[in-house]
Structure 1
């Protein structure tokens, strides 16, 4: 093989690499366009909400998965506003079923040599960084005025270690500890910091689960949770979720929850559930044909 053949091979690989990067850039641009169009629909919805209740809204379009880079823009938009209530409700999961840590969807969803948006980083940015950074932006004004309310949404999944939801569980216990520490630090300055740790609520993240005596609808849960403000710095949000927490703490002690036996059982249930879902989709596809 001559020197020019080697150069040709290297040039070919280089061309393919840059073509892949170009294709990925086009896809990102298309995705951003679609998200912007969907965002315009949300803007109209918020506008209707503001008109209905006679309130003025100011909307800042950011993606909390992007990490540190978004907060200077948020800080600029918040200048001059007296924010009395902050609700840190941003959150995401990485799987809709029980999964081992190494099964988290990660670099395989992204182009070669591009690891800037890995799923693990997105979950940490969304579930942990957003809470601390938004609090840092808003808290100084509350302290200056001597009053304020911060509500941080955690999860009962983070109350105790939860295998097969390891990363999500860990991010939620961060929210719990962060909230409790902040409340202790700033309650003497007139600031209330409340941590809400619910069980299952019917939202997009839980695939809009059917509402029942265990699963709450989002509006119903919000109403009940707000009734606890000023009475408790840590709450399950509603009576049914508090009862679930008590029952599960008795029926599933830590030693059993962490046991290899229960982990295998939960993993088998998740695998069977994924199989049933795939079969149902295939049958629906056959009927449509």
Structure 2
């Protein structure tokens, strides 16, 4: 008797397994389409940036992603506080934004690698402002991919990476968050990197610092959601900026304006995102390879990084 029923049992198990797998595949595809296309397009749970406050504060604001955020937020009629280390660049960007978007601007000259009293100075300049948005963009990476012990001036570079990528995010949140809590509104965008999500050999200190940003943002979001404060962690891949040393934009390495145009639509929709769909695809492919064979994914990335390193060293020789 049991032999007669066993095919039916196996058929039932097979159908159940097919349904479960089908459900997870459907769920995966739905989430990809919803979060990357439908929700941003329909502005489901999106934050109205104009209602967060009168001012937006951007660190690392004179180039790349930081400048693009400053311009995009000014276009949304927020006044802009620009924080960076070069007075001339700050003046130029502030003038451009004021003339083009007819908003107020303030500049704060700050070198985030020199932590002596800088946060007291920033706090003093920001005191009393109705700050609705903080973009923690300032960051520092290696001059080129390199093995941990072989990087030239590694003591200074590693120290500066910690100061720019970790201390700046922590201290800027300490300065701006109390006012947001009091007003029960606000947005904080902490810029991490896809390096925090995928194997990143030859960038070990940089990727570790960006992992801090990811974890800090995740837990800060949980702590302050009750005050209607949105904390987003942005994990971009390569963008055509001075920091990445990519001069021409491509589909996989967009211009800062193209990247921010897409990333800013995810505020309120995704607490953690690459901000740009091709970068999401890249992370997904690497995670897939890592699930199949961690050795293979690491081998591919090491090969890629060593090739970038070799080109950089050749440029130094010539």
Please report the TM-score for the alignment, with normalisation by the length of structure 2: 0.68
- Distance across 2 between alignment mates of 1:37 and 1:177: 27
Give the gaps of 5 or more residues in structure 2: 1-83
Q: Closer, same or farther in 2 for the Cα pair 1:276/1:188, shift >3 Å?
A: same
Report the equivalent of 1:179.
217
Secondary structure at 2:105 match in 1? coil
Compute the displacement of 1:271 (Å).
Answer: 4.8
User: Aligned equivalents of 1:171 and 1:102: distance in 2?
Assistant: 17
Local SS of the residue matching 1:192: strand
Choose which of 289, 299, 303 in structure 2 pairs with 1:251: 289
1:37/1:129 CA distance change after superposition, 3 Å = closer
1:44-59 aligned at under 5 Å gives the runs: 44-59=92-107
Map residues 64-213 of structure 1 onto 2, 5 A cutoff.
Answer: 64-96=112-144, 98-106=145-153, 118-213=156-251
- The alpha carbon displacement at 1:265 in A equals 3.4
Shift of 1:276: 4.3
Structure 1 Cα separation of the partners of residues 174 and 239 of structure 2: 28
| TM superposition shift of 1:222 | 0.4
Distance between the aligned counterparts of 1:267 and 1:229, measured in 2? 31
CA change 1:263–1:85 in 2 (3 A) is closer
How many residue pairs get aligned? The number is 234
CA distance in 2, matches of 1:38, 1:119: 19
Distance 2:224 2:276 in 1: 25
Unpaired runs of at least 5, structure 1: 1-35, 108-114, 283-289
Contact kept, 8 Å, 1:67 with 1:126, in 2: the verdict is: no
Is the partner of 1:150 in helix, strand or coil?
strand
C-alpha root-mean-square deviation of aligned residues, in Å?
Answer: 2.4
TM-score calculated relative to the size of structure 1? 0.74
Q: Deviation above 6 Å: which 4+ runs of structure 1?
A: none
Taking a change above 3 Å as real, the CA distance of residues 189 and 102 of structure 1, as seen in their structure-2 partners, is same
How far does the alpha carbon of each residue in 1:206-246 deviate from its partner, in whole angstroms, 9 at most, with x for none?
Answer: 11332111111100100100110111101110111111111
Tell me how far 1:69 sits from its aligned partner.
2.6
Higher relative contact order (CA 8 A, sep 6+): 2
In structure 2, relative to structure 1, the CA distance for the partners of 1:274 and 1:62 (3 Å cut) is closer
Q: CA–CA distance in 2 between the matches of 1:83 and 1:257?
A: 46
